[in-house]
C-alpha cells in the first residue's frame, strides 16, 4: 500500500467513525454533514471526496460487513460442510459487532440502520448483493450452476435470513445476548437443509 493509499484509508476511517458515532447518538435526520466534518476535523470538501452523502457512510459500513463474509467463505476448506462454512462466514461481522471495543457503537449503528427506513432499504439492497456474491461462491464450492440449480441461492438466502434475524434479536434485546451464540442457535435450525445433498436427495457427505 502506498503512502497516499494509507492516508486515504486513515481519513476515510476517521470520517466513518465520526459519522457513525454522531448518527447513532442523535439519529440519522438530526445530523448534518457540517457536524460530521467538525467532529472529524476535516473540511466539507474532504468529506465529499470520500462520500456522496451521510447515507453513504452507513452504506460503506454495510459493504465492509458483506466483504468480510465473502472473504471468510472463500477461505473455508473445500470439503467443509456448507452449514459450517456459511456459519463461519456469517459470524465474521457479528463477531466484530460483539467485540468489547466495538459492541456499544455497533449496537447503536445496527439500531440506526434497522429503524431508519431509508437506511433499512439500503441494507436490503446490500443484502441482495451479498446473496449474489455468496451464491456465486457456493456454486463454485458445490459445482452446481447458480442459474440451473436451486441450492446455491437457497443456501445463501437461508444464511442471510439467519444473519438478519440475529441482528433484529440482538438490537431488540439491547445487546444483552451474544450475537454469535444467537447465530449458532439459528444455524442449528437450518443446518440440516444446508447440508442436504441436492444431487442425491440425502445428507451431504462429511
Query: What's the whole-model pTM score?
Result: 0.81
| Total residue length of the chain | 206
Same structural domain, 166 and 97: yes
Same structural domain, 60 and 108: yes
pLDDT at 1: 64
Tens-place pLDDT, residues 26-77: 888 899 999 999 988 889 999 998 888 888 888 777 777 888 899 999 999 9
What nine digits make up the cell of 112?
Answer: 440506526
DSSP per position, 82-145 = HHHHHHHHHHHHHHHHHSTTTHHHHHHHHHHHHHSHHHHHHHHHHHHHHHHHHHHHHHHHHT--
Same structural domain, 91 and 144: yes
- How far apart are the two ends of the chain, measured CA to CA in Å? 40
Range of the domain at 9: 1-51
Same structural domain, 92 and 176: yes
Same structural domain, 41 and 61: no
Same structural domain, 47 and 107: no
Tens-place pLDDT, residues 90-135: 999 999 888 888 788 788 888 888 888 888 888 898 899 999 999 9
* Domain-embedded: residue 64: yes
Phi, psi of 30 (to 5 degrees): -85, -15
* Domain-embedded: residue 206: no
CATH number at residue 2: 1.10.10.60
Tens-place pLDDT, residues 145-188: 988 899 999 999 999 999 999 999 999 998 899 999 999 999 99
Same structural domain, 41 and 91: no
Same structural domain, 34 and 123: no
pLDDT at 81: 94
Same structural domain, 83 and 150: yes
The Cα 113–Cα 119 span in angstroms is 5
- H or E element: which one contains 63? helix 54-75
* Domain-embedded: residue 202: no
Number of domains in the chain: 2
The Cα 25–Cα 66 span in angstroms is 24
Same structural domain, 16 and 113: no
Same structural domain, 47 and 80: no
CB atoms within 10 A of CB 7: 10
Tens-place pLDDT, residues 10-26: 888 788 888 888 888 88
Same structural domain, 14 and 109: no
Amino acid at each position: 500500500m502506498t503512502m497516499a493509499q494509507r492516508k486515504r484509508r486513515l481519513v476515510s476511517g476517521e470520517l466513518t467513525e465520526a459519522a457513525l458515532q454522531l448518527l447513532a447518538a442523535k439519529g440519522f435526520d438530526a445530523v448534518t454533514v457540517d457536524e460530521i466534518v467538525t467532529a472529524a476535523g476535516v473540511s466539507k470538501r474532504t468529506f465529499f471526496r470520500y462520500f456522496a452523502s451521510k447515507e453513504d457512510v452507513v452504506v460503506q459500513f454495510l459493504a465492509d460487513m458483506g466483504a468480510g463474509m465473502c472473504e471468510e467463505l472463500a477461505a473455508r476448506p473445500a470439503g467443509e460442510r456448507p452449514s459450517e462454512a456459511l456459519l463461519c462466514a456469517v459470524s465474521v461481522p457479528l463477531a466484530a459487532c460483539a467485540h468489547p471495543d466495538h459492541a456499544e457503537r455497533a449496537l447503536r449503528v445496527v439500531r440506526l440502520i434497522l429503524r431508519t427506513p431509508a437506511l433499512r432499504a439500503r441494507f436490503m439492497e446490500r443484502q441482495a448483493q451479498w446473496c449474489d456474491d455468496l451464491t456465486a461462491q457456493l456454486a463454485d464450492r458445490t459445482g452446481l450452476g447458480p442459474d440451473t440449480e436451486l441450492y446455491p441461492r437457497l443456501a445463501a438466502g437461508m444464511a442471510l435470513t439467519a444473519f438478519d434475524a440475529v441482528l433484529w434479536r440482538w438490537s431488540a434485546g439491547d445487546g444483552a445476548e451474544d450475537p454469535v451464540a444467537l447465530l449458532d442457535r439459528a444455524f442449528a435450525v437450518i443446518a440440516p437443509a444446508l447440508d442436504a445433498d441436492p444431487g442425491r436427495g440425502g445428507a451431504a457427505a462429511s
